[in-house]
Amino acid sequence: MLKTESKIHELENELKLAKLKIKKTVAVLKRRTFELNTTNNKLESTNKMMEALLDDQSSRLNIIVENSPFGIVLTEKGKLIKINKALQNILGYSQEELLSLTIKDISHPDDLYNSLKLIHRLEKGSIDNFFIKKRYLKKDGTYVICKTNVSAVRNTYGKVKYQVALLEDITLVEQQSKMLKALNLLSISILGKNDLFDISWEIAKNTADHLELEDCVIYTVDEEKNILTQVAAYGKKNTKGFEINNILTVPIGEGIVGTVVKTGKPELINDTSLDDRYIIDDNVRLSELAVPIIVNNKVIGVIDSEHSLKNHFKQEDLETFTNIANLAAAQFNNAISLANEKKIQAEKNKLLIKLAKSNDELNNFAQVVSHDLKSPLRSMSALISWIQEDNEGGFDNETNNNFEKLLKKVDKMDHLINGVLKYSSVDKVNETIQQVDLNKLVKDILQVIHIPSNITIILKSELPILYSNKFRMQQLFQNIISNAIKYNDKAVGQIFIDVKEYDNKYLFSIQDNGIGIDEKYFKKIFKIFETLEVSDDNSTGIGLSIVKKIVTMFDGKIWLESEVGKGTTFFFELNKEQKINTEIV
C-alpha cells in the first residue's frame, strides 16, 4: 500500500512539474506569437509603403514620357511596344495602330539600310546608342524627317532587351534650309550673268534640281507681240542641253501663265483638270505653280512648274517660288539695264567713230584744199611777177598798179588759207602736256614779234609754271599780245600782262590802251573770219577764234572788258593742271 501511495505521490509531483512546464511553454508561445504579429504588421506596412513609392515613380516617368515634345518609342525585337503621345502626333497614328507595326513599317525604304546597320552594331554590343537622321512614313502617306537617338536597354546577360528611341521632327527646318540652300545656290549661279537667256536657264535648272521638281519653265513677256515665250525649260521638256523642244508661246491673258502676267499674282493649281484655263504643253500634268517675275511694277516673265500628281504644290512651294522670282527679277533688271547701257555705249561708239571719221575727212579736206589752193596761188603770183619782169617799162602806170593790186589780193588769199589751216589744226602739233614756264614763254614771244617803239609791254607780276601744251600756250598769248599791239592808236601805247592765282586756276589779263571794242561786238570777235575794221591784208579774223578754241580746249573761259577809244582787257581763266579736251581738238 505504501508503495502505491508513494507511487501516487510521485506521480502527483511529476504532474505538477509537467503542468509548470506547460505553463512556461505557453507563456513563451504567447510571447512569440505577439512578436510575430508585430513583425508581420511592420512588414505589411513597409510593403505598402514600397508599393506606393513604386506607383509614384512610374507615374512620374509616365508624365515625363507623355508630355515630352520629342517622340519616344520603346521597341522589343523591332516591335513597337510603347509609343508616347508626341510620336503618335508626329506619325498621325493612334497608340493601338502603332502597336501592330514594326520599325520597318514606318521607315522610309531608302533610310532602312543605314538604320539596320546601326541596330546590328547595337545588338552586337559594339555601341550603346546611335544617332541618325531618317524619314518616317506617316499614316497619310507623306514623310517626316526626324533626328533620331536610339539607346539599348540590356538584361543581366548584356543582351539587348529593349530599344528606346527619341525622335525630333525637323521636317520644317529641313525644308527651310533646303529652300535657303536652293536660293543660295541659285543666287550664286546667276551671279555675274548678264544674259537673259543664261539667267533663265540657271534659274530653271537650279530650281528644278534643288526643289526636286518634275520640271521648271521660265517664260518672258514679249510686249510688242503681246505673248509669253518659253526661254528656258528644264525637265522632261528639254533633252539636249540648253535648247527647248517645241517652244510654246502663250498669248498674255490666256492659260494659267498668261493669267499670271495679266494679274501679276501667282497661281497655285491643285487640279488642272478642273481648271479650263489650263493649256497642255507636252503632256497633261495635274498640279501647277506659276509665279510672276516683276521688275519695276511690270511683269516681265513667269516661273512655272507642273507636276503629274494632284495637290503636289504647297503654300511653302509658292513662297519659295516667290523668293526665286524676286531673285530673278533683280538679276533680270541688272541684265536689262546692262543691255541698255551696252546699247547706248555701242551707239555712242558708233557716233564717235563717225565723228572721228568726219573729223579726219575734214582735216584731209583742209589739207588737200590748202595744198590745192596754195599751189595755184604760188603759180599765179609767179606768173604775175614774170609778166611784170618781161614787160618792164612796157605797161602804163594803171596796168602796173593793177598788177600790184592783183599781187596783194593773192597775198591776202594766202593769209586766209594759212589762217584756216591754223584754226583747223591741220598743222597739228604733238598735244603733250608738260611743264610750261609762262614767264619764259611770254618773254620769248616778246623777242620774236615786232613791237613798235611807241609801245611798251609790262609784266605786272611773275607768271606761273603751268602743266599745259607749250605750243598752244604760245599761240594763245601771242595772238592776244599781237592784237593788243596791232590795234593800238595811242602815241604812248601800254600793254599790261597780269595774273591772279585762285584755288585751282589762274586768271590772266592782258590790258591795252588801244582803240577798244564796242560791246555789241564782244561775241562776234571770237568767231572765225570776223574782223571789225575794214579788211586789210594783215587781218584775217582768225587770231581770236584760235584763242577761243585753245581756251575751250583746256576747259577754260575767256571774256573781255572794253571801252571804245580807251582800251581793252582780255581775261582768261586756265586750270592749274590742264587736260586737253580732245573732242574739241
Partner 1 sequence: MSLKILLVEDDQIEILKFERALKKLNYTHDILNANNGEEALIICENDTPSLIFLDLNMPKMNGLEFLSILKKDNHLKYIPVTILTTSNNHQDKIDAYKIGIAGYVLKPLRYENYVNNIKTIIDYWLVNELVKNDFHLTEGADVKNRK
Minimum distance from CB of 556 to partner 1 (Å)?
23
CB nearer partner 1, residue 420 or residue 442: 420
User: Using an 8 Å Cβ cutoff, are 128 and 109 in contact?
Assistant: no
Q: Helix, strand, or coil here: 496?
A: strand
Q: Single out the residue of 7, 262, 428, 500 in contact with partner 1 (rule: CB under 8 A).
A: 428
Minimum distance from CB of 546 to partner 1 (Å)?
15
Binding part of the chain for partner 1, among 4-12, 159-167, 195-203, 378-386 by CB under 8 A, reads 378-386
Residue 374 as a binder of partner 1 (CB under 8 A): the answer is yes
Distance, in Å, from the CA atom of 302 to the CA atom of 218, rounded to the nearest integer, reads 6
Binding part of the chain for partner 1, among 81-89, 283-291, 376-384, 558-566 by CB under 8 A, reads 376-384
Binding part of the chain for partner 1, among 254-262, 269-277, 413-421, 573-581 by CB under 8 A, reads 413-421
Residue 407 as a binder of partner 1 (CB under 8 A): the answer is yes
Residue 193 as a binder of partner 1 (CB under 8 A): the answer is no
Contact characters 448-487, partner 1, x per CB under 8 A: ----------------------------------------
Kindly list the distances between the CA atom of residue 485 and the CA atoms of 457, 477, 513, 533, in Å, as whole numbers in the listed order. Answer: 9, 12, 10, 15
Residue 112 as a binder of partner 1 (CB under 8 A): the answer is no
Q: Total number of residues binding partner 1 (CB under 8 A)?
A: 24
Residue 377 as a binder of partner 1 (CB under 8 A): the answer is yes
User: Using an 8 Å Cβ cutoff, are 257 and 250 in contact?
Assistant: yes
- Residues 6 or more apart from 494 whose CB is under 8 A from it? 455, 456, 458, 512, 513
Residue 414 as a binder of partner 1 (CB under 8 A): the answer is yes
Among residues 217, 182, 186, the alpha carbon closest in space to that of 317 is found at 182
Cell of 238: 528639254
Distance, in Å, from the CA atom of 498 to the CA atom of 506, rounded to the nearest integer, reads 10
Minimum distance from CB of 476 to partner 1 (Å)?
17
User: Using an 8 Å Cβ cutoff, are 122 and 100 in contact?
Assistant: no
User: Using an 8 Å Cβ cutoff, are 484 and 514 in contact?
Assistant: yes
Residue 359 as a binder of partner 1 (CB under 8 A): the answer is no
Binding part of the chain for partner 1, among 90-98, 314-322, 375-383, 544-552 by CB under 8 A, reads 375-383
Kindly list the distances between the CA atom of residue 557 and the CA atoms of 107, 469, 572, in Å, as whole numbers in the listed order. Answer: 86, 17, 5
Q: What are phi and psi of 569, to 5 degrees?
A: -120, 125
Q: Helix, strand, or coil here: 163?
A: strand
Residue 379 as a binder of partner 1 (CB under 8 A): the answer is yes
Kindly list the distances between the CA atom of residue 426 and the CA atoms of 96, 166, 359, 475, 554, in Å, as whole numbers in the listed order. Answer: 104, 92, 11, 14, 18
Indicate the angle between helix axes 470-486 and 543-553, nearest 10 degrees: 140
CA angle, corner 230, sides to 317 and 225, nearest 5?
125
Residue 132 as a binder of partner 1 (CB under 8 A): the answer is no
Residue 176 as a binder of partner 1 (CB under 8 A): the answer is no
Residue 133 as a binder of partner 1 (CB under 8 A): the answer is no
Binding part of the chain for partner 1, among 44-52, 348-356, 422-430, 436-444 by CB under 8 A, reads 422-430
Provide the β-strand partners of residue 572: 508, 558
Cell of 138: 506617316
Residue 356 as a binder of partner 1 (CB under 8 A): the answer is no
Residue 427 as a binder of partner 1 (CB under 8 A): the answer is yes
Residue 409 as a binder of partner 1 (CB under 8 A): the answer is no
Residue 370 as a binder of partner 1 (CB under 8 A): the answer is yes
Binding part of the chain for partner 1, among 148-156, 314-322, 349-357, 367-375 by CB under 8 A, reads 367-375
Provide the β-strand partners of residue 467: 435, 577
Minimum distance from CB of 395 to partner 1 (Å)?
17
What residue ranges bind partner 1 (CB under 8 A)?
A: 367, 370-371, 374-375, 377-379, 381-383, 385-386, 407, 410-411, 414, 418, 421, 426-430
